[in-house]
Amino acid sequence: MSLTHRQRHRLQAALGDRLMAVCYGAGVDSTAMLVALKQAGLRPDIITFADLSAEKPPTLEHLDRMDRVLAEWSWPAIVRCRKETLPGTGYSNLYGNCIANETLPSLAFGLKSCSIKWKQKPQDHAIKGARSGPNAAPPHPVWTEAQRRGVRIVKLIGYDCGRADLRRSRNLPEADADFDYAYPLQILGWNRTDCVRAITDALGVDMVPIKSACFFCPASKIWELYWLAAHHPDLLERALILERSALTGRHSRFDEVEFGGSWDELVRTADRFPSTSTTVGLGRSFAWNQWARVNGVVDDAFRVKRGADDRAHFRAMANQLRGEDNALDVRSVA
């Protein structure tokens, strides 16, 4: 799938004279965005990826493959950005943060602070630099050049024309104190299917990545939990441990009086939690631990089952339940 003359002109008109920073998520949309920029003859000045130490193994493998592609294009390599913590903090990543503080990721409560703290700010530091602290670093040359010329860098975000991404982009500012923002896929009018096709045609079907997300992301769908159980049971177990720690720990918001029992009792004996606005687990309205028990994903000790028949069943359930939303990735087309 190649850009039409009109699409190429739109991208060039919007971005042709700009200093560009690609916020690369290593998923379908952001990979298609790189393909589109290449076809339009637009070379970004920096490509950043927020490394939370929580991505699934296929995503990390895709990053390495994309670095090889970028080298062939004579483009900059992906800058892997991590939030560095002070030595006495007790953790070095989002998972450790949640375990240490016995809490769920903020997205489970409808907030976005984990993205700001662990994704946005490290990528900003990679561009702007930081004068002090554990993240101290000099600014990237693109920031220095922008300051010298008195121009603004535009951050490129891989939101497509699906309903969810259109809603997200509408709710975001066009600029902040440091950067402008643009959405190349929306300029092109590409949806998720277009993105998969563009990657397949330009790089091959094996370069279509899986959806990029933390293995304990509260936005995960049921089919993704089955997929995780089938392919990475160790990661699902770590997610279950995180959830249990948060809902039974000292900072738990779980009200035993409201629910008529402890969180652990309901997870072990009930099929579901009563309807409530209270977050009861990583699934917000449902607990991953309870789901795993009810659906035979774990044994009595909440260890993920690893038998060949079990994993085949989990794979089959993932394929059966996968929908048409942002689930379209290599697991659908390969």
Using one digit for the tens of pLDDT, what is the confidence trace for 167-177? 888 888 899 99
Using the predicted structure, report yes or no on whether residue 249 has a pLDDT greater than 90: no
Instruction: Name the residue range of residue 294's domain.
Output: 222-322
Using the predicted structure, report yes or no on whether residue 77 has a pLDDT greater than 60: yes
What tens digit of pLDDT does each residue of 288-301 get? 999 999 999 999 99
Q: How many domains does the chain have?
A: 2
Span 61-90, average pLDDT: 95
Least confident of 12-26, 211-225, 244-258, 311-325: 244-258
Q: CATH no. for residue 17?
A: 3.40.50.620
Span 145-157, average pLDDT: 97
- The pLDDT assigned to 113 comes to 61
Q: Which of 146, 175, 207 is the last residue of a domain?
A: 207
Q: What percent of the chain has pLDDT over 90?
A: 76
- The pLDDT assigned to 250 comes to 79
Using the predicted structure, report yes or no on whether residue 72 has a pLDDT greater than 70: yes
Q: Are residues 156 and 229 in the same domain?
A: no
- The pLDDT assigned to 241 comes to 98
Q: Are residues 261 and 126 in the same domain?
A: no
Q: Are residues 126 and 236 in the same domain?
A: no
- The pLDDT assigned to 15 comes to 97
Q: Are residues 188 and 247 in the same domain?
A: no
Q: Is residue 17 part of a domain?
A: yes
Q: Are residues 193 and 242 in the same domain?
A: no
Q: What is the pTM of this model?
A: 0.91
Span 100-121, average pLDDT: 83
Burial class (CB in 10 A: 0-12, 13-18, 19+), 6: exposed
Whether residue 62 contacts residue 334, with contact meaning beta carbons closer than 8 Å, is answered with no
Q: Are residues 70 and 173 in the same domain?
A: yes
Phi, psi of 50 (to 5 degrees): -85, 110
Q: What is the mean pLDDT of the chain?
A: 92
Q: Are residues 29 and 67 in the same domain?
A: yes
Q: Are residues 227 and 203 in the same domain?
A: no
- CA–CA separation, 101 vs 263, rounded Å? 18
Span 57-83, average pLDDT: 97
Using the predicted structure, report yes or no on whether residue 270 has a pLDDT greater than 90: yes
Q: Are residues 14 and 112 in the same domain?
A: yes
Q: Is residue 332 part of a domain?
A: no
Q: Which of 207, 234, 264 is the last residue of a domain?
A: 207
Span 315-327, average pLDDT: 80
Q: Which of 149, 172, 207 is the last residue of a domain?
A: 207
Q: Are residues 200 and 236 in the same domain?
A: no
